Amino acid sequence: MDKPVNMKLNTDEDRVDAPATPPVSMPTVFEAIVKQQAIAATYNRGSVTLAPHVVYTKHGEFYVDALTLERDGKPPREPKIGAFKIAGLGGMRVTPRRFTRSELFNPKEERYEGVTLLAIEG
């Protein structure tokens, strides 16, 4: 006679958020970081020019933290590194505009630990 099989159903605590399939624009972000060239894209129905500093995963999604260089053709009031969901950046392209690593970027921040895919050097 067969022995009974003990089965355990998975709970939400057992699930690990695996990253989703990378967006088709992922190579564009990687190229921009490696070449230290800005990217232009549409985000929340506006145009943005970003200096990408790091790509990482959070809750199974892909994010890029970037310094906003322009929003709708105007520089921001104050420089800051913002988090952008890569899937939300439409029409992304690398621009000829070069940038250097911002002093505001800290690659050792806890939120990047173990989830960084690529970060700017320097």
How much is the pLDDT for 10? Answer: 46
Strands 37-43 and 46-58: antiparallel
For 23-74, what is each residue's pLDDT tens digit?
778 899 999 999 999 999 999 999 999 999 999 999 999 999 999 999 999 9
Q: Distance between alpha carbon 117 and the CA centroid of its chain, in Å?
A: 9
Range 9-23 average pLDDT: 54
Do 13 and 38 form a contact (C-beta atoms < 8 A)?
Answer: no
Q: Please write the tens of the pLDDT for every residue from 83-98.
A: 999 999 999 999 999 9
